[in-house]
């Protein structure tokens, strides 16, 4: 198990990311939403993907009203397995922006937190598809465009509890261990390129998924979503690769 290290803060300022383009999966979730806004705040054009079109439109409007660069909105279901559909997604990004500086894998399915005997096969497969297989396919189809950037990143999100391979974490726990392995493999393959691959491990924080895995937990002991997103942006902009990182201390 790779031991995570604290995020190294990156100096950021208004318009630093002007003309940069970042694709964010799960953009309507707690961390995805805050990360999209944080990147847009620094001048980036963000591509918002997710399954809930109404939530995507609301986030789109919020970013526009804040005066940040106009984002792109692409409803997309990661449960899809056909690589051609993923190729069409990246082609639409190429047609509109002609560049991609980062891919941020935030979307995830939690499935069933419970003993293996309670794991429904269809749910298990959906979790692995959404959390692992789709991330692998999307990373693959994005690589040609990412390689054209001066510096590009692929960022994955793990889970401090699920990654320990303890009882009852089911497909969700397995998926986090798998995605960490994939991210490390990708980092090794991209070692001589300008594309980095890193894993961000948020730790205990105020996120909808945390409510499901730790019901009844007091929010006062958790990091805020905004603080965690700020740290994720530092990972996205990092020049290091193959790193497993957790938020720095406030």
User: Catalytic site residues?
Assistant: 172
Residue scoring higher pLDDT (58 or 206): 58
Average pLDDT over residues 112-138: 94
Would you state the pLDDT for residue 165? 82
Residue environment code for 58-82, b if the CB has 16+ CB neighbours within 10 A, otherwise e = ebbeebeeeebbebbbbebebebee
Distance, in Å, from the CA atom of 81 to the CA atom of 125, rounded to the nearest integer, reads: 11
The mean pLDDT value of the chain amounts to 90
- Predicted pLDDT of residue 44: 97
Check whether 207 has a pLDDT greater than 70: no
Give me the percent of the chain exceeding a pLDDT of 90.
Answer: 70
Lowest pLDDT segment from 10-19, 35-44, 104-113, 140-149: 10-19
pLDDT of residue 217: 55
Q: Does domain 15-246 have CATH number 3.40.50.20?
A: no
Its pTM stands at 0.92
Mean pLDDT lowest for which of 33-37, 107-111, 177-181?
107-111
Read off the pLDDT band of 194 (50, 70, 90). very high
In the chain, domain spans: 15-246
Least confident of 64-78, 188-202, 222-236: 222-236
């Amino acid at each position: 198990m790779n031991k995570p290290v604290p995020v190294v803060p990156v100096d950021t300022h208004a318009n630093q990311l002007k003309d940069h383009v970042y694709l964010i999966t799960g953009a309507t979730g707690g961390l995805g939403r805050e990360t999209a806004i944080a990147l847009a705040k620094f001048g980036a054009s963000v591509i918002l993907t997710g399954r809930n079109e109404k939530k995507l439109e609301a986030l789109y409007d919020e970013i526009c009203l804040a005066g940040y660069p106009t984002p792109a909105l692409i409803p997309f279901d990661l449960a899809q397995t056909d690589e051609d559909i993923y190729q069409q997604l990246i082609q639409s990004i190429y047609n509109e922006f002609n560049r991609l500086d980062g891919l941020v894998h935030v979307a995830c399915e939690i499935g069933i937190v419970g003993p293996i005997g309670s794991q429904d096969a269809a749910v298990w497969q959906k979790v692995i598809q959404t959390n692992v297989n789709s991330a692998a396919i999307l990373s693959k189809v994005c690589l040609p465009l990412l390689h054209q950037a001066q510096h590009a990143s692929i960022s994955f999100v793990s889970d401090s509890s699920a990654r320990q391979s303890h009882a009852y974490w089911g497909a969700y726990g397995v998926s986090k261990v798998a995605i960490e392995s994939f991210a490390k493999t990708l980092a090794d393959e991209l070692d001589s390129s300008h594309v980095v691959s890193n894993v961000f491990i948020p730790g205990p924080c105020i996120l909808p998924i945390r409510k499901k895995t730790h019901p009844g937990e007091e929010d006062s002991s958790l990091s805020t979503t905004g603080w965690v997103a700020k740290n994720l942006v530092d990972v996205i902009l990092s020049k290091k690769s193959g790193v497993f990182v957790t938020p720095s201390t406030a």
